[in-house]
Amino acid sequence: MPGEEDGQRDDGGPAAAASTVDELDDEKRPAPLNGWVVVLAPLLLAFVVVGPLAHYGAWPDWVSRTIAAAAGAALCYWHWRVKHWKPMLESHMRCTSPGIRDIEVAQLQHEAGDTAVDPSGVLQVQMLVLGVTRPAAFRQRVVERYDVGHRVLRQQMTLDVSIPAQLNVAEPAPDADQREILFPLLVPPKGQLVDNLCVADSDGARIPVLAYSEYLSTVARALRTLLLIAYNARTLPPEAQQAEASALRAVMRRDHEPVDSSAADLLRNLRVPRPGVARLAARLVEKLAGHYAVLVSVPYPSTGRFVLQYERTITPALKLRRCEKGKRLSWLRARLRVLLGARPVDISLTLEQAWASHSYHLLVDGGDGIYVGHQKAPDLATFFDRGMQLKNGAMKPYYRFRRRAGQSYAHFYCREFAEPAAGRPVPVIRFRFYEVPPGSTLRALVAAFSAALLVWIIGFVMSRQPELDSDAPAYLLAFPAVAAAWLGFDPPARRLLEGTLAGRLSLLCTSLLSLGASTLYLITKSKLPFFDGRNPTNLQVLGIGSLYWSLLTVLAVINVSAILFIHIVRFKEFMYFSSRVSDSPGHSENS
């Protein structure tokens, strides 16, 4: 990865390698009390279950069990903190990297020493500087597409690039088709890795990406060319070479080092015949001090236009709501989604590529079986209204969403997007997808209805004939629990959508109600006096007089009603979106 691979290398030699081995051995060595935890925790658990060997009464018995349970929980918590939580926190520590040596900077200056100011070199420098600082000068149209996978996003970018005529100062050479140019494809912040990057042209042929050393050499040559043009000379004076060394050091800095803006200031303050060129070099260094460029080698286009495509994998951060006043229910729902594996497709994307082109399209494909439920950009209108100064002849900024019509993808379009000012956040767009009916809610509804019906029927019979001589009700009551587990907890292997939270909670309630009803039936059959209570004032709940069978029946009816209401709401919403007037008149899906 350009800008990253050398930052992770340790050139400490054999001594450093030996110390690394010692550190690994220390990590593998168990903690002194870890063995005792493995022995004591099962023993304490066995004591809680079995109790003391000698019986001293009910009160001392339960007190000793409570103390043993508390001690076991404390040991497990200590074991978790030492062996799991602490190593997990330390796994996010930054990797150490050697500092930048003067000999490395001198080597780059030496490589750039034979740079000559020729038309083709000037074109390459212009493409590098503008491609890094003002990418919209080349990118006419950008189409950004996201395919939603399981915990990752696959980003697919298509760039329509056009070299402005005023930059193409080089006369077409006889071998122009064989000449190559270097184009800045990405300019991510330092420290950010680009995963699974694959670059291709319009025909799908692979395009090579420059290595980190080649990237540094290219920047050094471009900086030398700009300084030579600024001085209108063939060699640089000593003060220019010192400013160049400071600039290269700033470009080579690692991500955990502070950004050095003094190097760009040195370039701006140079007394040169062409101060505008010096300011251009300062802008390049200022950008690359906090970012690095991914350069690709592209065949020289005879028409000045070419198309690039690239794909990469992005792992979005999982944002859970904080437990704040007024948001405790949302905090609980967020953790239940993770616990039950019911995370919907709900992603937020930054428009960091929108200002890098004149025309920008963003498409998010959620996959089969889901549709666009919500799409919003709360900060976008405010961003467009603040400080939007249009130059003479410039087009007015514009944006819009593809209207929701029950489709599985979302589409956002904007043009003439302004570059965010320094320190201002980039606008964010949020998309939320829902299941296409019937989905998981129908499966949960069927399981909940069958459980409620069985609980009511058996409770109705048991309240009138407790001496029922059959084991069939126990098997019937256990069936909804098995069906709920089979229907709802088999997540798809690829999609991010893993069932709705309402469906998972309903299936969980169905399982618990079925198991509770089976247990109550067995207790009633065994004639144990624990759950033989009757409803107060001879109250009949759907014909059931038993107190506990009435409670189970009410809970089962509530479960059915809740999931039925949610299913009807989602069904009506999908039908409304799908039956709206289409943007493409004449195209229809007939049902």
What does the pLDDT read at residue 142?
Answer: 93
The pair of structure tokens assigned to 403 is: 């209207």
Q: How many whole angstroms separate alpha carbon 511 and alpha carbon 505?
A: 10
Find residue 376's DSSP bridge partners: 430
Report d(CA 400, CA 73) in Å as an integer.
55
Cα 352 to its chain centre, rounded Å, is 15
Task: Compute the average pLDDT of residues 7-16.
Answer: 38
The pLDDT, as a whole number, for residue 399 is 85
On the CB side of 30, CA atoms within 13 Å amount to 8
Q: DSSP letters along 364-419, please?
A: EE--TTEEEEEEE-TTHHHHHHSS-PPPTTPPPPEEEEPPPSS-SEEEEEEESPPP
**Average pLDDT for residues 317-343, to the nearest whole number?**
72
Strand order of the β-sheet with 409-415 is 195-201, 305-314, 153-162, 139-148, 359-365, 409-415, 398-401
Q: 82: number of CA atoms within 13 Å, CB side?
A: 16
- Give me the long-range contacts of 558-562 (CB less than 8 A, separation at least 24): 559/448, 559/451, 559/452, 559/506, 559/509, 559/510, 559/513, 560/445, 560/448, 560/449, 560/452, 562/502, 562/506
361-391 pLDDT tens trace: 999 998 877 888 888 887 777 776 654 544 4
pLDDT score recorded for residue 49: 80
Structure tokens at 76: 């497990």
Is the pLDDT at 411 greater than 90? The verdict is yes
The pLDDT-based confidence of 585 (bands split at 50, 70, 90) is: low
- Whether 152 has a pLDDT exceeding 50, the answer reads yes
484-532 pLDDT, tens per residue?
Answer: 555 554 444 434 445 678 888 888 888 888 888 888 888 877 776 666 7
Give the model confidence (pLDDT) of 226-269 as tens digits.
998 898 888 888 898 899 999 999 898 877 667 778 888 888 88
Specify the pTM: 0.75
Q: Which residue has 């760039």 as its token pair?
A: 159
pLDDT of 31 reads: 52
Q: Residue type for 370, please?
A: I
Query: What is the widest separation between alpha-carbon atoms in the chain?
Result: 108
- pLDDT tier at 284, thresholds 50, 70, 90: very high
CB-side exposure of 186: number of CA atoms within 13 Å?
A: 24
Q: How is residue 199 annotated by DSSP?
A: E
Q: Distance between CA atoms of 426 and 192, rounded to whole angstroms?
A: 17
- Split at pLDDT 50, 70, 90, the class of 394 is low
